[in-house]
Amino acid sequence: MNGKIVLITGANAGMGLATTIEIAKKGATVIMMCRNKQRGEEALKTAIEQSGSTNIKMMICDLGSLESIHSFINQFKEKYNHLDILINNAGVMTLKREVTRDGFEMQLGVNHLGHFLLTNLLIALLKNAEEARIINVSSGAHKVGKIHFQDPFLTKRFGLMKGYAQSKLANILFTKELSRKLKNTNITVNALHPGAVATSIGVNRKTGFGKSFMKLMKLFFLSPEEGASTAIYLATNDEVRHITGEYFYKKKISLVSKAALDGDLSKRLWTWSEQQVSIYPQK
């Protein structure tokens, strides 16, 4: 991993921070993408202390804002001319319906559309690498997910799992379609289920509501370090260097839902997503 540049979204806590520390230990330059400056700076300090590496940087970006994503990309391109590994780790889960700055339902907006735009805007830098990898953190929740095209932002009937499962199914459909579009390039794209992990994903981004529930979860669920193991494996192991378009669980290729294998659905979601974030079709 020496000399490789790795970008990790949602790196200020949980699996993102654990992934940052372990990959930095392996010699890579890691850029921690964080939404909040104060929490990001605290996480950066922790990452440097625990990894023993000084090749860790922190950059600000809110995946719930298309403007923030474009601003981040401009800053990133000023500093780096290529990117070896992109780990789309950031995720939110909301107990009640919330919206992003652009009016998207928060879970679909951050978990899918924010990463969709970010990834597409980074493709050129990934192509500049000798061998590049995109890793999307999805969830086993995708298996109960549907893409609700008639009301994708759940304005009429919101449900926590309905919205979260939709966003996680979108992660896998995005992975499958992007891997097809990048066939015969230097870039592989894979998704993963980290397992049931005790993180801050269910804590309200503004009020902090849900912290007590998340503390209780830690008694029964995997630690962030355990949850990060498959993402680290996909980012660093030579065994998967030529594997693309797959879904991993516990470092092995795993089965996905019938909907996740629907090529027509992945194409439809791709076109819809392009329209939402206003980008040109990926060549």
The residues that bridge with 60 in the sheet, in sequence order, are: 34
Residue with tokens 């791709």: 270
Q: Give the DSSP letter string of 140-192.
A: GGGGG----TTSTT-SSS--HHHHHHHHHHHHHHHHHHHHHHTTTSSEEEEEE
Token pair of 23 as six digits:
């990959």
Q: Give the DSSP letter string of 199-264.
A: -STTS-TTT-TTHHHHHHHTTTSBPHHHHTHHHHHHHH-GGGTT--S-EEETTEE----TGGG-HH
Write the CB contacts of 238 (distance below 8 Å, at least 6 apart in sequence): none
Catalytic residue among 164, 247, 249, 280: 164
Round to whole Å and give the CA distance between 69 and 50. Answer: 29
Specify the DSSP class assigned to residue 109. Answer: I
164 catalytically annotated? yes
Which helix or strand (DSSP H or E) is residue 25 part of? helix 14-25
Token pair of 78 as six digits:
């000023």
Catalytic positions:
164
